[in-house]
């Protein structure tokens, strides 16, 4: 009897630790290389974001071990649609695809309704890019997007995947994000698997969240 309850207790604690491990894995990210780390501030796991599919944030810090030149960073930016596109004081382009200001970043949303859908890189829609820590030990860049139009899902669960592309053209600069990620396994969608198949130099920052109606 004692042995039975001991085994049952062990089994329960094993189940608990396995389920908490998978919850952690889901919330965190895959570790591939350690030279670039992405920290995802928003959307946090389980958040219900925005109003009517707009007004919500994707907000990240990207930490590189290398100097500024290696990050692909070309300049600061404050951008947006309409009159906000490519104007002073920090001009940059604003459209779906790879970002002209931080051209290694790949941002995918499972509920994207424009361009290549879940395979569409959305990094060039980011509004605000700046250098937040520049030292001999590395470079940190913050990158923020406030979603201005309900083109990325409304009243739906969604997932975000963010990574930095590997230096695929071997020029020593992380500037190789695609406009659209290839659907490596032809399952009609892009996710962490397709990012790894493309080639990445960072963790994959991920979150599951809800886009409000
Ligand atoms: Ca490169
Ligand atoms: Ca796929």
Block means of pLDDT (10 residues each) for the chain, 213 residues, are 46 44 40 76 98 98 96 97 95 97 98 98 98 97 98 98 97 97 98 98 98 98
Q: How far, in Å, CA of 30 to CA of 192, rounded?
A: 9
| pLDDT number for residue 34 | 56
- 104 shares its domain with 185: yes
At 11, list the tokens. 């089994």
Which ligand is nearest the CA of 70, by number?
Answer: 1
**What is the total count of domains within the chain?**
2
- 70 shares its domain with 12: no
3-state secondary structure of 8: helix
Instruction: State which residues have CB under 5 angstroms from ligand 1, the bound ion.
Output: 167, 169, 171, 173, 175-176
- 145 shares its domain with 127: yes
Residue with tokens 């894995």: 25
At 198, list the tokens. 């493309």
- 125 shares its domain with 173: yes
- 65 shares its domain with 85: yes
- 59 shares its domain with 118: yes
Q: pTM for the complete prediction?
A: 0.84
Q: What is the DSSP letter of 173?
A: S
Structural domain span for residue 77: 31-211
| pLDDT number for residue 35 | 86
Q: What is the DSSP letter of 170?
A: -
- 66 shares its domain with 115: yes
Q: How far is ligand 1, taken at its centre, from the CA of residue 70, in Å? A: 9
Which ligand is nearest the CA of 192, by number?
Answer: 2
| pLDDT number for residue 7 | 45
Q: How far is ligand 1, taken at its centre, from the CA of residue 115, in Å? A: 24
Question: Between β-strands 105-109 and 36-42, what pairing exists: parallel, antiparallel or unpaired?
Answer: unpaired
- 13 shares its domain with 83: no
| pLDDT number for residue 25 | 39
């Amino acid at each position: 009897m004692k042995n039975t309850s001991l085994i049952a207790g062990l089994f329960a604690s094993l189940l608990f630790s396995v389920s908490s491990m998978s919850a952690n894995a889901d919330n965190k990210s895959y570790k591939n290389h350690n030279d670039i780390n992405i920290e995802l501030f928003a959307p946090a796991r389980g958040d219900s974001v925005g109003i009517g599919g707009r007004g919500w944030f994707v907000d990240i810090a990207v930490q590189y071990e290398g100097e500024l030149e290696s990050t692909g960073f070309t300049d600061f930016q404050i951008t947006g649609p309409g009159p906000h596109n490519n104007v002073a004081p920090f001009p940059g382009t604003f459209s779906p695809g790879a970002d002209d200001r931080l051209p290694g970043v790949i941002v995918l949303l499972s509920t994207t309704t424009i361009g290549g859908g879940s395979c569409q890189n959305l990094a060039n829609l980011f509004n605000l890019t700046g250098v937040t820590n520049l030292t001999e030990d590395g470079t940190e860049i913050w990158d923020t997007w406030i979603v201005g139009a309900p083109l990325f899902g409304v009243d739906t669960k969604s997932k975000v995947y963010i990574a930095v592309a590997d230096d695929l053209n071997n020029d020593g600069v992380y500037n190789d994000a695609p406009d659209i990620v290839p659907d490596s396994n032809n399952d009609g969608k892009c996710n962490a698997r397709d990012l790894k198949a493309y080639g990445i130099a960072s963790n994959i920052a991920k979150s599951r969240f809800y886009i409000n109606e």
